[in-house]
Copies of this chain bind each other. A is one copy, B any other.
């Protein structure tokens, strides 16, 4: 019964270590562009869609406003994006690529393949791993919400 638990904790550490290890590769690859990994994730979204909102980015990247707001401010300071209040809903802030932000796409074009080679797993493993990882993400997020949700249940 309780033999299961230490295994799970070890898995969580492996997850933590793997995530940092992968980020360290991104750091090396993105440093010449002056981007961090979370910043790169925002750029990836915008390179596909050209415009988004803070709220959409929050949901897509599963990050909070308090992480993304300063991050977007830094991207704006670097001249890669612009932020504008939406006329139709003044609460909403649109995030738009600048010309410079759009051009950076080519400079980052080599990153995906470099990452693919760095992690060194074949496509079959990737697909399997993705399935389990997403299950864990959903399950853990639900449990965290449930456990901390007592105050919200008032």
Q: Which residues of A contact B (CB under 8 A)?
A: 2, 4-29, 37, 41, 44, 62, 111-113, 115-121, 123, 125-130, 132-141, 143-144, 147-148
Across the interface, do A119 and B16 meet the contact criterion of CB distance under 8 Å?
Answer: no
Query: Which chain B residues border A148 with CB–CB below 8 Å?
Result: 28
Across the interface, do B144 and A28 meet the contact criterion of CB distance under 8 Å?
Answer: yes
Q: How many subunits of this chain does the assembly comprise?
A: 2
Identity of the chain B residue whose Cβ is nearest the Cβ of A4 in the assembled complex:
B116
Across the interface, do B28 and A123 meet the contact criterion of CB distance under 8 Å?
Answer: no
Across the interface, do A27 and B118 meet the contact criterion of CB distance under 8 Å?
Answer: no
List 27 A-B pairs, Cβ < 8 Å: A4-B116, A7-B116, A7-B126, A8-B112, A8-B115, A8-B126, A9-B115, A11-B126, A12-B22, A12-B115, A14-B137, A15-B18, A15-B19, A16-B19, A17-B133, A18-B133, A18-B136, A21-B137, A21-B140, A22-B140, A24-B140, A24-B144, A25-B147, A27-B144, A118-B139, A120-B135, A121-B132
